[in-house]
Amino acid sequence: MAATRDVAFVDGVRTPFGKAGPKGIYAETRADDLIVKVIRELLRRHPGLPPERVDEVAVAATTQIGDQGLTIGRTAALLAGLPKSVPGFAIDRMCAGAMTAVTTTASGIAFGAYDVVIAGGVEHMGRHPMGEGVDPNPRIVADKLVDPTALVMGQTAENVHDRFPHLTKQRCDEYAARSQEKFADAVKTGKIGPELVPVAIRSTELGWGLATEDEPPRPGTTVETLATLKTPFRPHGRVTAGNAAGLNDGATGCVLAEVNTARELGLPVGMRLVGYSFAGVEPEVMGIGPVPATEQALSRFGLSISDIGLFEVNEAFAVQVLAFLDHFGIADDDPRVNPWGGAIACGHPLASSGVRLMTQLSRQFAERPDVRYGLTTMCIGIGMGGSVIWENPNWDGSK
């Protein structure tokens, strides 16, 4: 048996994220064209990677229908101009689709089945709202396998509030305002931007244009403004459009490679994979999923939470991030957590978000030789969490 091999996260890119709906920047843009743009950009940025050396293309989408269907990993590979010899597949793990595309293909690299892969995700929530065309088995609710609220993500966030009443709406609004502020600062200082690939967009009303920046952020958001927003999931609730991620369109992608193959091809090593874990929780409180997933990952790889120097936590809902931080004794405003803001500001196109977290962590690692380990983690619909631990190749142990 061959020994397992080291896996490198080479580089990641993403489209600007748009607002879902008829007025969003991608209202008249196909989902598959978004992921094709990402794949082409990865190859453009790394001319040392011959297209025929790509061994697999894994693309996630939560709603695999229409222009997000038809084994989108394979069709996107063909549309992007990869040789017909390069296979591809589609993957679905709700919000953690791209994260699972990475962990699945990275496992293949570690095992020796692949040397180089492209993994990512796309979600066009304007064209394909979550759950479009699905037919959940009535026994799921009738047999009381899950609480009826489990299938409405905003209601699951309200349930997390119920379980942890000390996670007040005020704390969530303060967290959300900070996320907007950190993201705006990161854009101004050029931390957010280099990973974006401009996308040609079309509008019947406005003609052709170019998407070059995220549409969802609301810089200047204050706690006072957030306090006035409606609570759509429950009368007098705590979850609002301001302390949760919106409905968004966008695509992400990354190149993963076996470490020696990356060196052979002159590809950068942005991060090294340490390990990962997925865990299930009660579907009606899916937001707590990152807690057991992180505990499992840390314990499996002999680390503790204090070893993690940077956290990229997907901000589906502020309450879910705060539940994670509270569990591990981390302050709401700890500078290690989402230093460039998060999904509350920039958006969360479901299946694509995992690679956004990884791309940002990799770019932060480049600036932080004092940090050895980082974590990307997210809650997942229908009651799961996913956590991936990464090592910084720039770590200087003397510091």
Tokens of 227: 């306090």
Q: Does residue 197 come out as left (phi exceeding 0), alpha (psi in the -120 to 50 range) or beta?
A: beta
The catalytic residue among 172, 254, 346, 379 is 379
Per residue, what are the HEC states of 34-97?
HHHHHHHHHHHHCCCCCHHHCCEEEEECCCCCHHHCCCHHHHHHHHCCCCCCCCEEEECECECH
The catalytic residue among 95, 172, 254, 346 is 95
Say how many C-beta atoms besides its own lie within 10 A of residue 194's C-beta.
9
Between β-strands 373-380 and 384-391, what pairing exists: parallel, antiparallel or unpaired?
antiparallel
Say how many C-beta atoms besides its own lie within 10 A of residue 13's C-beta.
25
Report residue 45: phi and psi, to 5°. Answer: -75, -20
Secondary structure percentages of the chain, helix, strand, coil, to 5: 35, 20, 40
346 is an active site residue? no
d(CA 21, CA 253): 23
End-to-end CA distance of the chain: 38
327 is an active site residue? no
Q: Is the dihedral of CA 284, 238, 378, 349 positive or negative?
A: positive
95 is an active site residue? yes
The catalytic residue among 46, 124, 161, 348 is 348
Residue type for 59, please? V
d(CA 143, CA 367): 52
Closest-CA residue to 321 (of 212, 267, 244, 373): 244
117 close to 57: Cβ distance less than 8 angstroms: yes
Enumerate the active-site residues: 95, 348, 379
